[in-house]
Structure 1
Amino acid sequence: MSSIELGSPAFKANPYPVFANVRKDDPVKQVILPGNRLGWLITRYEDAELALRDARFVKDPQRALSSEQLQQQFGNIPMGQDADSEDVALRRPAFFERHMLGVDPPNHTRLRSLVNLSFTPRFIERWRERIQAIANELLASVEAKGTMDLVNDFAFPLPMLVITKMLGIPREDQDKFRVWSNLFIESSGDPDSFRQNAEQIAAFREYLRYLIDKKREQPAEDLLSSLIEAETAGNKLSQGELISMVSLLLIAGHETTVNLISNGMLALLQHLEQKELLQQDPALIKSAIEEFLRFHGPLMTATQRWMGEDVELNGKLLKRGDYVVVILASANHDEETFKNPETLDITRQDNRHLAFGKGIHYCLGAPLARLEGQIAISTLLQRFPHIRLAVAPEELTWRPGALIMGLRSLPVNF
């Protein structure tokens, strides 16, 4: 049985040739994943879209795994209502997956409805001026230096400042969330890594409980207060669901955008003719953002899925309880779907990439990520038209973890 080091920083530097070979030779491929568990890699666009939409590919392991399989993967841990206990929070990373991305209907429908109104394109558009102001402030703080780390000085703080403001979280707590976010994202897909970081997981949970209690006592006009109000109004958000939902909004609410901005800028700085084209015609920013999402998107894989029943896919029998990994980075480079997929083309039309998923689990924050990406990259190119890489591309380091495609840093001069 072969293995692919999906989470390896070295592999992430250029995974696309490997994915192209897998798509050609074994598009539904069983491999050994971190934690020594077997999983199916789905690499072609058509198969990936099916898996993202099809209800037979389930999010909740309790709907797919036998008692013995649950014991093997998660240990002797209470499920159901008992999953709110402190012990579970420390030993089972799935505790933090009891949100929209970790459940199936009808729970998914109920949970998503609680935050839908806060992430409509119309609501997000109201944040345009504030996002622009944050972008201007961040770039003004480094302008005199002539150099910056685009990730740490700009791409990370911008979406973090936005989502914490939306939720009503103090700005001074931003650094804490960077530590916790890195822990969860970079440990994704590796149960052993989560268990090794039990102390940080407990600290994250404790902080979220503190925040929720504080907002209960002093509600404000923010998203967190609205979620608490929905819970007390009888929408049946348990304490565990509320904590999990906030963790999702905090982490997913900025991670995608961090990588969209930094990966997009890296793509432009490695394809200067595309950078010049965008500078000459700033109206191309919308199609450019879609191409960045496809070409070197913020996520390598979709979030976890299990087989809810036996399914034959591309000649392979995926059995009930099997673990499935949809490789978004491969599907978005499928030559059967995209013409010249290895070419960055910011004018590309009908760009049906899967960067935000498909079906009922389509990314709720996609409108926010798109708006932040458009403002961030447009502002960068306007204020720093001569921006360029400060190091050779091979010197860049990618963050570990199978879920995300993100740089540790991106030094630039301007």
Structure 2
Amino acid sequence: MPAYAMNPIVPDHVPAELVYDYDIYAPGPPGSDFYAELYQLKKRAPAVFWTRYNEGHWYVTDAALANQVLKDSETFSSRRLVVPASNNAEKGFVPIALDPPEHTKYRNHLSVGLSRKAVADLVPGVRGLAIELIESLRPKGQCEFMADFAFQLPIIVFLKLVDLPLEHREGLLQEVAKIIRPGSNKAEVIAGLAAYLKPIVQARRAAPGDDLISWLSTREVDGERMSEDKLHSMCTLLLIGGLDSVANTLGFFARFLAENPAHRRQLREEPAILASAVDELLRRFPTVTAGAGRMCVSDIQLGPAPIRAGDQVMAPPPMLNFDDETYPDPLKVDFSRRIHSVGSFGQGPHRCVGAALARSELGIFLEEWLRRIPDFELAEPELTFQAGVNISYARLNLRWSA
């Protein structure tokens, strides 16, 4: 059976009324608003349903139940994160494929390495780079935003953070994109990225510098220095996560602002709302939509669904973002909205450790771009997102008066 084909076999324990066929990698017709489709799915489908796509799995649309799955690591293991199951790395990455308490030992080091203090130290450099990129684009009166800015700022920042050559950026991005998007031999791609990093990790562990990989190489777990294989796995995960997510989010931020001059004006006239605006736009445009899978390790009744040990459950954190009770009229962007717990960075023990850095980069973009290019618009009438573990725009052409 092809990896993304429909599996006609429904397990015996799945009630017929809970079968609802939905492909998470084809969430809507071309040109549709992915997020509107996600919100409508909550209206159309059961709170928990079984889909025969992607080798068959459960999917949770209800915010409270999704939150339960993401926080209950004893029942729902992270050892299988994506569908189909065959697309998961054989050993999984440290720490994302581990469960507490083992997961916590490694995550704590990442949390410190990407702490708010560490991010604060990076901010002047991030801001300077953002200004440099924007100033180079401003006289041109147009840009292809994804290539000219979105895949420049956060990727350069990340490569500097881990001290990898900037000239490797394009090749690394191409490989990471193969993992994030549907299709391709993911095991082969991951093996290639791991092979690229292996000598770098070995060298940093032997002679640590002042980059993040070197710092992690000196950390201890259970009283001993982190092993080379665990460090290698952690750094491969950092590479995959660091080269894609913020860039994709920047694309959705930019498109929204291009189409909504009133919101642009509000941000310029009320700079104090910047942090709230970042959170609201993150809530409205979560880009990691199909990477929060869990494997059930013991039988449990989840809402209407009898989940059995071994079942794969997809509980997308964005379902928390589009909950009517928490966020009335959730498709509307309202910078005065109180954000309770945005699901864009995940939920529970596996919440993204890079959230502070991402927020900083996104806020700097809003502030510095609107200061220099306050009015801009889309330069093409139709845009289609690319669906996958993350969603993104392949291109985003913008124009303005130079």
**Are residues 1:58 and 2:53 paired?**
no
Q: 1:233 to 1:318 in 2, by over 3 A?
A: closer
Deviation at 1:376, TM superposition (A): 1.2
**Are residues 1:262 and 2:282 paired?**
no
Task: Say which is worse superposed, 311-320 or 211-220, in terms of deviation.
Answer: 211-220
Deviation at 1:330, TM superposition (A): 3.2
Alignment equivalent of 1:48, drawn from 57, 60, 66: 66
1: CA distance between counterparts of 2:217 and 2:284? 39
- SS in structure 2 opposite 1:29? strand
CA contact (8 A) 1:302 1:327 kept: yes
User: If each structure's helix is expressed as a fraction of its own residues, which one has the higher value?
Assistant: 1
- Per the alignment, residue 52 of structure 2 pairs with 32
Q: 1:274 to 1:119 in 2, by over 3 A?
A: same
**Are residues 1:166 and 2:161 paired?**
yes
- SS in structure 1 opposite 2:289? coil
- Per the alignment, residue 5 of structure 1 pairs with 23
- SS in structure 1 opposite 2:24? coil
* Aligned positions of 1:318-329 closer than 5 A: 318-329=307-318
Q: Deviations over 1:86-138 (max 9, x none)?
A: xxxxxx74247321211102220121122221111122111110000110121
- SS in structure 2 opposite 1:306? strand
Q: Which 5+ residue runs of structure 2 have no aligned equivalent?
A: 1-18
TM-score (norm 2): 0.87
Alignment equivalent of 1:126, drawn from 100, 117, 121: 121
Cα RMSD for the two superposed structures: 2.4
Q: Which 5+ residue runs of structure 1 have no aligned equivalent?
A: 63-71, 75-91, 188-192
Partner AA of 1:408 in structure 2: A
- SS in structure 1 opposite 2:194? helix
- Identity percentage over the alignment? 27
**Are residues 1:387 and 2:380 paired?**
no
Deviation at 1:19, TM superposition (A): 3.4
TM-score (norm 1): 0.84
CA contact (8 A) 2:47 2:303 kept: yes
* Aligned positions of 1:13-412 closer than 5 A: 13-24=32-43, 25-34=45-54, 37-55=55-73, 56-61=75-80, 74=86, 93-95=88-90, 97-187=92-182, 193=183, 196=185, 199-230=188-219, 235=224, 237-392=226-381, 395-401=382-388, 403-412=389-398
Partner AA of 1:400 in structure 2: A
- SS in structure 2 opposite 1:7? coil
- SS in structure 1 opposite 2:241? helix
CA contact (8 A) 1:51 1:57 kept: yes
Q: 1:344 to 1:408 in 2, by over 3 A?
A: same
Q: 1:345 to 1:378 in 2, by over 3 A?
A: same
- SS in structure 2 opposite 1:377? helix
Partner AA of 2:117 in structure 1: R
2: CA distance between counterparts of 1:217 and 1:305? 36
Deviation at 1:30, TM superposition (A): 0.8
